[in-house]
Amino acid sequence: MLLACYPSLSADLKGKDLDLPVLLILLLASLSLGALLAPAWWRRRQMRLASAEAFPRVQRQWLRQHWPLYRKLPSDVQLRLHKSIQKFLADKEFIGCDGFVVTPQVQLLIAAQACLLSINQPESHYPELRQILVYPDAFVVPTKHVGASGVVTERSEVRLGESWTQGQVILSWRHTQAGAAAPYDGQNLVFHEFAHQLDQLSGQANGAPPQPTLALQQRWAQQMPTLYANYCADLAAHKPRLLDSYASTNAAEFFAVAVECFFEKPAELQQDSPSLYLLLRDYFQLDPQLWNLSL
């Protein structure tokens, strides 16, 4: 196997006697290479096989009933979304927490919303993501806060969701359902946490996800910091803005909250911040205003 992969090495070794240590080294190298490549190859194979199947009619009907936004999607977007959902479900592991039982419907609703964000991205299946942990409701996590004097205070915080760079997303099922059932309120937990996953493809969540083109990357770098600074200044001056005040936390949260409104309140976001809407439209290569979503 190794000699076949490296023809020049194979030619050099023809007609030469190899002692046992050399053969063992070559064998171990071949096995190590195979072990490294096999998981990635298997993941691609499973996703390819899953996306080759027809998207079940019962799943389409279920999405129409439980995720009203799905009914508004153009047919071509739906078709691409179906393939992306199938790849996602074939590749990711879902884990129930605190006694929660993950059903196929739970997986479908999460996957559908997550994949809408990624259908036009080069890495459309969230390659770094391995697991989705689902709690029945909001969950409590221990945190540490370092004060100005260096004193560390331990406390607990209630969370609805989290996105980790180590390959996990954590979601509250109750809030996942609520976000899907109310597609016009600008609050969607899955959109928010998976926006962080896209952001983290650059290595960290900083409000600057990898862009599809160099031109958009330059526009993003020029405009987004200013848009975030202006938003924070408006909040400080008590000027009304569309995005929830949580967006002022940092640039990463500004991006994630903006994504929620982009898909659920596109007309309002375009009116509130035309430049922000255009950046998100060009990044996602989707225009939700055309889906007749405004109230």
Take residue 72 and report the two structure tokens written for it. 């508004």
Bridging pattern class, strands 93-96 and 131-135 = parallel
Distance from C-alpha of 65 to C-alpha of 68, rounded to nearest angstrom: 7
Give start and end residues of each alpha helix (H) in 53-103. 57-66, 68-72, 75-91
Structural domains for the chain = 41-183 (1.10.472.150), 206-295 (3.40.390)
Instruction: State the burial class of residue 209 (Cβ atoms within 10 Å of its Cβ: 0-12, 13-18, 19+).
Output: buried
Tallying the residues shown for the chain, one arrives at 295
3-state secondary structure of 285: coil
Distance from C-alpha of 274 to C-alpha of 272, rounded to nearest angstrom: 7
With 0.75 as the threshold, say if the pTM is over it: yes
Tens-digit pLDDT string for the chain (295 aa):
333 332 333 333 334 444 556 667 767 766 666 555 555 544 555 555 555 577 999 999 999 999 999 999 999 999 999 999 999 999 999 999 999 999 999 999 999 999 999 999 876 689 999 999 999 999 998 877 676 666 767 788 899 999 998 899 999 999 999 999 999 999 999 999 999 999 999 888 999 999 999 999 999 999 999 999 999 999 999 999 999 999 999 999 999 999 999 999 999 999 999 999 999 999 999 999 999 744 3
Distance from C-alpha of 160 to C-alpha of 170, rounded to nearest angstrom: 8
Q: Name the percent of the chain in helix, strand, coil, to the closest 5.
A: 60, 10, 30
Report the alpha-carbon angle 267-251-132, nearest 5. 85
